[in-house]
Amino acid sequence: MSLDWLREVDGGCILDIYVQPSASRTEIVGIEPWRERLKISVIARPHGGEANREVLQALAGWTGASVSGMSIVSGHSSRRKSVKIEDIGPSRINNLLEGR
């Protein structure tokens, strides 16, 4: 599978994600090959940025990075987003996925 959803950038990486809002629980679901994105389910509704905040908190808990070191670089009002995580490389993300 191609790793186009995960790219290294100066000082970190960018992940392409797909968000499922209004889910029964918040979790990192895994890679959806047909979307070629990391799927994240969140309890929050997509209203007033609540789901975006919960996505960043879920990623922070999963990666060990701080929320302040993350930013949504595209897709603020879409289910398809790109998130930049500072100080974490693609190898760390791949290790986390393999350890699921």
The whole-number pLDDT of residue 1 equals 46
The whole-number pLDDT of residue 100 equals 62
Tell me if 9 sits within 8 A of 71, measured CB to CB.
no
2 pLDDT more than 70: no
The whole-number pLDDT of residue 98 equals 87
The whole-number pLDDT of residue 18 equals 98
CA dist list (Å): 28 to 10, 18, 19: 25, 10, 10
End-to-end CA distance of the chain: 17
pTM: 0.92
23 pLDDT more than 90: yes
The whole-number pLDDT of residue 99 equals 79
Q: Which domains does the chain have, with CATH numbers?
A: 6-98 (3.30.1200.10)
For the segment 11-27, the average pLDDT, to the nearest whole number, is 97
CA 100/CA 49 separation, integer angstroms:
28
Query: pLDDT tens-digit profile of 33-87?
Result: 889 999 999 999 999 999 999 999 999 999 999 999 999 999 999 999 999 999 9
Question: What letter does residue 76 receive in the DSSP assignment?
Answer: T
Question: What letter does residue 69 receive in the DSSP assignment?
Answer: G
